[in-house]
Amino acid sequence: MGCCWLFEFSFSRKPKKGMGSSSGSGCHTSQASLLSNEGEDDDCGSYNGYMTDIGSADDCEFQSPTKRSEEILVYRMQCGLICREFPVKETHELIRSEDENGNKMVNEYVREYKIGAGSYGKVVLYRSQLDGKHYAIKSFHKSHLLKKRVAASETAMSDVLREVLIMKMLSHPNIVNLVEVIDDPATDHFYMVLEYVKGKWVYEGADPPGGIGEHTARKYLRDIVSGLMYLHAHNIVHGDIKPDNLLVTGSGTVKIGDFGVSQIFEDDNDELRRSPGTPVFTAPECCLGPTYHGKAADIWAVGVTFYYMVLGKYPFLGDTLHDTYDKIVNDPMYLPDEMNPLLKNLLEGLLHKDPRQRMTLENVADHAWVIGEEGPIHQYVCWCKYNCLRREQSPVSPTDVPTFQY
């Protein structure tokens, strides 16, 4: 849980003596928990880029995901400001059955095996009998979501519904796609049918001593930056960028997953109080006061992820939660002397402790190391942007509709 402002850190001083890890008020301090959201009771789990659950409201002080966020999302949908040419399928009838082999089924989807589980629900691999494709389905019990409190006036249902609303807007080659929502008012079950990415995580192979190599790291970073630029352009903060939430397809394309803690804003004011991300990816400013800017924190998390891909280790990782936050705020970043100077400059920019001097995503996209031999990262023209441009210009025929590819 990224609530390290409780430790009263600053850029220029060490944490106060006596402010031990117990000050985290329920934030676990084992090193394994510093690398994921998973707590001892599965309150904080990240599962293959499809699900992250946050802890209870008693763990840390949260900013409630207010109704304002939901109002923004509903307004955008009503105005057609979504990036999908075709909407997410919504199904309001649930049929739970078995196939001829005794495998459990949800409507036309045949269960294969569980991918992961957390306090909100579980993620299971299913195969569609209609198209033969595999899908990752997140399943929840609505009664459980309504009982689980995540803030003073919010339940876990608020988080899940906001995740659904956000994903209903999104369509980008570097973001996991939401295919269908199954919500039968007559049952307690709720399902999110997601694109299944059969591949690996971006960190696979990034083990000491050398990481995954500059060529692969550049390819992955370009995809991550492209997807995150798209999100930020739509005033969406992901909130938990990390290797576990970055899936690589068989063709080598990175897709950003897990929008369980994401937030949306009406304008460029992305100030946040709630910081439910993963400790080792927490930005220093989250440790310095009760509020921070979500987009800059996302960029820091990209930097930590990129550092791990390149060097095979995390830049700031202590033995406890308190020690990790101390290192994030106060310790200098280690970079090998023999490192490519351009790569070193990029890492220093991504992981600048002062968010005001940290690189923007546009800076990253224009950086010489990122451009390499591939050229600039192409601007992705989404459906809602295209519609805006079309309304501003003269009408075009259906044959002029772009394919929205690089």
pTM of the model: 0.80
Note the pLDDT of residue 393. 61
What are the residue numbers of the active site?
240
CA distance 280 to 326: 11
Give phi and psi for 54, each to the nearest 5: -100, 165
d(CA 297, CA 283): 5
Domains of the chain: 4-34+199-371 (1.10.510.10), 67-195 (3.30.200.20)
Beta bridge partners of 51: 47
Q: Is the CB of residue 183 less than 8 Å from the CB of residue 160?
A: no
Interatomic CA distance for residues 201 and 203, integer angstroms: 5
Contact predicate 225/172, CB 8 Å: no
At 9 the pLDDT is 37
**Angle, helices 67-78/156-169, rounded to nearest 10 degrees:** 30
Average pLDDT, 10 consecutive residues per value, the chain (406 residues): 38 37 40 57 44 42 50 67 82 96 97 84 94 96 90 83 90 95 96 90 65 92 96 92 92 92 84 77 89 94 95 92 93 95 98 96 95 85 62 50 39
pLDDT at 288: 84
- Say if strands 178-183 and 89-91 run parallel, antiparallel, or are unpaired: parallel
Kindly report the number of other CB atoms within 10 A of residue 17's CB atom: 6
Residues 347, 310 contacting (CB under 8 angstroms): yes
* Phi, psi at 392, each rounded to 5°: -75, -25
Q: Which has the closest alpha carbon to 276: 63, 116, 32, 50?
A: 63
Q: Does 16 carry a binding-site annotation? A: no
pLDDT at 399: 43
Q: What is the structure's pLDDT at 153? A: 76
pLDDT at 287: 84
Q: What is the DSSP letter of 185?
A: T
